[in-house]
Amino acid sequence: MARHGVSADEAFDVLRRTSQDLNVKLADLAATLTERHAEIDLPAR
């Protein structure tokens, strides 16, 4: 959140939308991001 300058609510909205777009449970998406955060280079907003 700090890296991309978003609030907790905005970060959750991104997770929720991505979960819906990919048809993946939000908890599964969050777990994957947590496990693989070092491998993922997301562009800043």
Separation CA 26–CA 2 (nearest Å)? 21
In three-state form (DSSP H/G/I as H, E/B as E, the rest C), the secondary structure along 1-45 is CCCCCCCHHHHHHHHHHHHHHHCCCHHHHHHHHHHHCCCCCCCCC
Question: How confident is the model over 18-27, as pLDDT tens digits?
Answer: 999 999 999 9
In the prediction, which pLDDT does 21 show?
Answer: 97
Amino acid at 14: V
Number of domains in the chain: 1
| Structural domain containing residue 20 | 8-41
Confirm whether 3 is domain-assigned. Answer: no
Separation CA 28–CA 5 (nearest Å)? 24
Question: How confident is the model over 27-44, as pLDDT tens digits?
Answer: 999 999 888 877 776 666
Confirm whether 2 is domain-assigned. Answer: no
- Number of C-beta neighbours around residue 37 at 10 A: 10
Per-residue pLDDT for 3 more than 80? no
Confirm whether 1 is domain-assigned. Answer: no
Confirm whether 27 is domain-assigned. Answer: yes
In the prediction, which pLDDT does 34 show?
Answer: 87
In the prediction, which pLDDT does 1 show?
Answer: 75
